[in-house]
Chain A
Amino acid sequence: MIVLLGVVVVILGFVTRRNPVLVVGVAGVFTGLIGGMNPLEVLAAFGRSFADSRSVTVFAVVLPVIGLLERYGLREQARRLIGRLGGLSAGRFLTVYLLVRQVTAALGLTSIAGPAQTVRPLVAPMAEAAAERSTGAPLPERLREKVRSYAASADTVGVFFGEDCFIAIGSILLITGFVNSTYHQNLEPTQLALWAIPLAVCAFLIHGSRLLLLDRQLQREMALAAAEHDLPLPKGTKK
């Protein structure tokens, strides 16, 4: 019973908005010690699981490439390219990206896109440019943040609810590994991947329609902002 105090430590740290790194560190040491591990075992557990989880930090190798290209105008050029494509609104563009991200993740290609690889240099500037083109005016700061948040969400939802349809992904292997060794079963990854498809479809329908609604929201808020500042209405809005 007493080990559950570790969960309490995490919740308390979370609620009181302490530095999350510190919360995790304290909760780890605390749980290990009250769970009956001696200090050396706690240190070994920290070291061993840190070594086993290095793959989640690998995305940092992409930063120099993106940094170099941004210095030479990658984001500016991404904006210009979308500015030239007619008919593409921010919502439609992000819906297409969501679909591409889900399908590629379902084929096992989870590392090809992500916040550092594609969202910051390409997807977010393109979505902003599309929003500015279809509303016909530069976005105010608040709406710019909103478009960027939606760009990040399209990537995250896409990868989460695409990757489980692929048999060699971490989460599927974790399920089979855990169940087969703990309960002596012979679960196959393909059976699990099949059951991930219905939710992948739900995720696309729900998030896709929210992305499409983003266009109308932007249109409305731009009209409001224009009215507040007594500016001419952006083209395409009705009084």
Chain B
Amino acid sequence: MIKVEWLYWLVGLVFVVMAVQMAADRSNPRRWTSAAFWGLLGLAFPYGTGVANATAKNGGWTLPAEPLGVAVLALIVLAGFNFLGKGAPVTSTTEEREASATRLGSKIFIPALTVPLVAIVCASVLDTSGLFETGKATLLGLGVGCLVALVVGMLVTGERKLSVPLHSGRSMLEAMGSALLLPQLLAVLGSIFALAGVGTQVGKIVHDVLPDNSKYLAVLAYCVGMFLFTVIMGNAFAAFPVMTAAIGWPVLIQQMHGNPPAVLAIGMLAGFSGTLCTPMAANFNIVPATLLELKDQYGPIKTQIPTALPLLVCSTVIMAVFAF
């Protein structure tokens, strides 16, 4: 059975190899600290296997979580105090690319489409075959798809050296910098907030402020609260336990007898509207901006706000009308 942990080791390996390339890249003014950052991040992936085993108590070798915590803090320091640099991008000239596009024609799409096609096959056909760890078929499909696509890509383009894709990928990694790590750090912050009891505190405040038996105000408070808390935390998953413990469950469901699936599903989506509007949701808003080489890193957010606000209104109205 192919395990999701193997995919994490592959990701770690890619980071470590790229870190070695960075250390050797004299065009990068901060090459040693950049290499330290990506190398440490790479090593954190296989180490995380041991930590995850210990948390889930699912057997296998276990490792203490504290050293990984130290590594994460080191990553935060390296990225937070601007120790990450970029080398000169390793790529081809516009003329070379035009020439090779003419030569290859639409064959160049084959490897690019291999990734989603393999992922689809893994998620649908092979999901029930027992080949993949339960519930991880799409994620593993992405990994398998990348490996297959790399082989197909090298065949189609006639590229012999494996260092070429690695160098090109490294340039994209350097362009993204610490934005790549932020989503994972926000997940960390969310769980620390939960452990420290932020949700219970918000609940107490809401309970004191909200007038009794006012259904519409409570719906509004839940949806807007999900929205705002997601904007702050960058992740609806972090906002959901907080706001649901505060208003969703005690007020809307227990006190006002709302339909639980409707209240909770729509509440989560009100949070998703918030994700569209915040730079804290780096993987959806800032990473695309850097990947697309936009000068204005808030470009995607500005485009999304006029969609997010009407959607927040829709969530509130749908919940108020259909959930009770």
Contact surface of A with B, Cβ cutoff 8 Å: 1, 3-4, 6-7, 10-11, 14, 19-22, 24-25, 27-29, 31-32, 34-37, 40, 42-78, 80-81, 108-113, 115-122, 124, 141, 145-146, 148-153, 155-157, 160-161, 164, 168, 170-172, 174-175, 178-179, 182-183, 185, 187, 191-196, 198-199, 202-203, 206-207, 210
Instruction: Enumerate chain B residues within 8 angstroms of A45, measured Cβ to Cβ.
Output: 65, 69, 188, 191-192, 195
Q: A112-B120, A151-B292 are in contact. List 4 more A-B contacts (CB 8 A).
A: A49-B187, A60-B14, A76-B101, A199-B314
B139 in contact with A58 (CB, 8 Å): yes
Q: When each residue 289-324 of chain B gets 1 if its CB lies under 8 Å from chain A and 0 otherwise, what string results?
A: 101101110011011101100110011001000100
How many Å from the CB of B239 to the closest CB on chain A? 11
B189 in contact with A65 (CB, 8 Å): no
For the complex, give the distance between the alpha carbons of A50 and B187 in Å: 8
B276 in contact with A54 (CB, 8 Å): no
Q: When each residue 72-103 of chain B gets 1 if its CB lies under 8 Å from chain A and 0 otherwise, what string results?
A: 11001101111000000001100011111110
A61 in contact with B143 (CB, 8 Å): yes
Interface centre among A50, A66, A69, A117 (most CB of B within 10 A): A50
Contact surface of B with A, Cβ cutoff 8 Å: 4, 7-8, 10-11, 14-15, 44-45, 47-49, 51-52, 55, 64-73, 76-77, 79-82, 91-92, 96-102, 104-106, 108-109, 111-112, 115-116, 119-120, 123, 135, 138-139, 141-143, 146, 149-150, 153-154, 157, 159, 164-173, 178, 180-193, 195-198, 201-202, 232-233, 236-237, 240-241, 244-245, 249, 260-262, 264-266, 268-269, 272, 275-276, 279-280, 282-285, 287-289, 291-292, 294-296, 299-300, 302-304, 306-307, 310-311, 314-315, 318, 322
A58 in contact with B65 (CB, 8 Å): no
A50-B112 in contact given A3-B198, A108-B138, A195-B266 (Cβ < 8 Å): no
Using CB atoms, name the residue of chain B closest to A80.
Answer: B101
For the complex, give the distance between the alpha carbons of A205 and B161 in Å: 47
Using CB atoms, name the residue of chain A closest to B259.
Answer: A195
Number of A-B residue pairs with CB-CB distance less than 8 Å in the complex they form? 440
For the complex, give the distance between the alpha carbons of A187 and B55 in Å: 25
Q: Which of B139, B172, B249, B282 contacts A67 (CB 8 A)?
A: B172
A76 in contact with B237 (CB, 8 Å): no
A192 in contact with B187 (CB, 8 Å): no
Q: Which of B146, B181, B304 contacts A62 (CB 8 A)?
A: B146
For the complex, give the distance between the alpha carbons of A121 and B67 in Å: 38
Using CB atoms, name the residue of chain B closest to A156.
Answer: B284
A65-B303 in contact given A28-B192, A160-B272, A175-B268 (Cβ < 8 Å): no
Instruction: Enumerate chain A residues within 8 angstroms of B183, measured Cβ to Cβ.
Output: 53, 56-57
How many Å from the CB of B166 to the closest CB on chain A? 6
Instruction: Enumerate chain A residues within 8 angstroms of B291, measured Cβ to Cβ.
Output: 115-116, 119-120
How many Å from the CB of A77 to the closest CB on chain B? 4
A57 in contact with B73 (CB, 8 Å): no
